[in-house]
Structures are given as structure tokens and as C-alpha cells.
Amino acid sequence: MNDSLYIAATGMQAQQKNLDTIANNLANLTTPGFKTGRVNFQDMVYRMGQPAGAEGLSLAPSNDAHGTGVSVLSMSQQFTMGEMKKTDGMLDVAISGAGFFEVSLPDGTRAYSRGGALQVNADGFLSSPEGNMLKPGIHIGSDVKSVSIMADGKVMVQANGQNSASEVGMIDMASFSDPAGLTPLGQNLYKPSAKSGEPILGRPGENGVGTLAQGFTEMSNVNMINEMVSLMTAQRAYEMSVKVIQASDEMLAMSNNLRK
């Protein structure tokens, strides 16, 4: 059996996944809070050579083990900080450092986000752009003159007709032992996994969690130059696997054309 056909096929499948991931990164180059995805590969099981013959003569070297291809081990996100873009938006809040906002999804479960383009939902609570309420709930109301979000998470609101602002709540932050293990849900949302561990809640600026910066938005951490280099590398690796299949096919064709 010509194993090279199947080995090259696994290489093509793996690089196709790699190309899809790079394309997604480039498509989200300007998406606020987006984190670069990466594909992690591993070699597949090795097949051992034939055992010694009946007469004690070795038909293959004792260490004759060859690989059977490559597979995708996992997908991971790189949670390095993106550029802090000044917007002066009253509800734009960027996380300077590590940490995530905790939000409540419509089905009652909780998710975690780096996106800080906050808004006030129909019930007057601070929420994500998709309408997912921040946890713990912070009621802002609709008749407000200004909202101030401090670096330590304190939220101050000045309503119309009032001369001073009053504290309405605190924004808590969540951290994880291995953020790269978080499972992406889309819309800049992530959920915990066995690899990431359970969330560790705390106040901004405490226990290694970053602080908040009002009037800023964290941009994508995608590096276009790195992605273009990765794209070319993946393309060349895909081409090499195709050439292996072509060479294997030609060898099989020559075998079929042998004449006695």
C-alpha cells in the first residue's frame, strides 16, 4: 500500500484548517476586542515495521517506524492586548491588562468577553452591544446626564436634574488560569473549558487583573504582517502535499504499466 497518498491527504486537510483560521483572523483585523486564533498540530501514530522472518532474518530494521500523517491537535486564542483606541465614548471601556467582563446570556448561562463597547439595555442595565447584561447587574437608567467608570470598576452616574454623581455599582472582572483554553462562541464571547479552568472573579487592578479605561476601545490583536507570512507558509505546505500526491500517483501509474 502506498501510504504517501494518505499521509499527504492529512497534510492537505490540516493546512486547509490552518488557511481557514488565518482567513478568519484577517477578516477580523478591525473587529474591536478580537483575538487571534491559532491551529496547533500534532503528528499521528507511528506504524512499526515488519517483524523478523521465520529464518531469523530481519525483513525490516528494528526501528523501522514511520508516521501516518498530521492532525489538528487544538484551536487556541492568543490573548495578547490589542491597541487601545481613544473614542471618548461615555460607555466605551477597554481592559488594560488581563481579565474579562462577565455577561449573562439569554439562556441563563454566563460567558466572558473583552469587548468593552457597552450600552444600556431596554431595562436600564449596563450590557454588551448584543444586549447581554453585565454581571453583577448595574442599573444605569435612561434619564442620565453622565456615566463615569473608574479604573477600579466603580460606576458613577449623574442623572438629569442632579448636581452630583452617585455610585450605582462595581464592575467585576474574571480571570482564568489558562485563557488560551477558552472556547470561542462568536460575538467576542468565550465560555470556560476544562483546559481554561473556572473563572476567578475579582476587582479590576487586583490579583493580576487589569484596570478599566473609559473612553477607549481595545482593537483586534491581529498582526497583518504575521498573518500574511503564515498564509504564504500554509499555502506552500499545501502545495507540497499536493505534489506528494501527484508523485505517488505517477509511481502507481508506472507500476500499472509494467510489462512482463
Q: What tens digit of pLDDT does each residue of 132-176 get? A: 999 888 998 878 888 999 999 999 999 887 888 888 999 999 999
Q: What is the pLDDT of residue 3?
A: 85
Local structure of 78: helix, strand or coil? strand
Same domain, 150 and 201: yes
Same domain, 201 and 170: yes
Gap between the Cα atoms of 213 and 200, Å rounded: 21
Query: CA 166, 172, 174 angle in degrees (round to 5)?
Result: 170
* Sign (positive or negative) of CA dihedral 5, 10, 11, 15: positive
Helices (H), the chain: 3-27, 224-256
Work out the average pLDDT over 111-121. Answer: 89
Gap between the Cα atoms of 148 and 156, Å rounded: 5
Domain around 241: 3-78+222-256
Same domain, 212 and 247: no
Gap between the Cα atoms of 4 and 172, Å rounded: 54
Interacting residues of 213 by C-beta distance below 8 A, sequence separation 6+: 84, 93, 94, 95, 96, 151
Is the Cβ–Cβ distance between 157 and 146 less than 8 Å? yes
Q: Does the structure show a pLDDT above 60 at 207?
A: yes
Same domain, 10 and 70: yes
Same domain, 88 and 103: yes
Same domain, 136 and 71: no
**pLDDT tens for residues 7-55?**
999 999 999 999 999 999 999 999 988 999 999 999 988 877 665 555 5
pLDDT bin (cut points 50, 70, 90) of residue 99 is very high
Same domain, 232 and 196: no
Same domain, 137 and 252: no
pLDDT bin (cut points 50, 70, 90) of residue 93 is very high
Same domain, 131 and 51: no
Q: What is the pLDDT of residue 214?
A: 94
Same domain, 97 and 191: yes
User: How does DSSP assign 236-248, residue by residue?
Assistant: HHHHHHHHHHHHH
Same domain, 168 and 213: yes
As for how many domains the chain has, the answer is 2
Gap between the Cα atoms of 13 and 27, Å rounded: 21
Same domain, 116 and 197: yes
Beta bridge partners of 67: 46
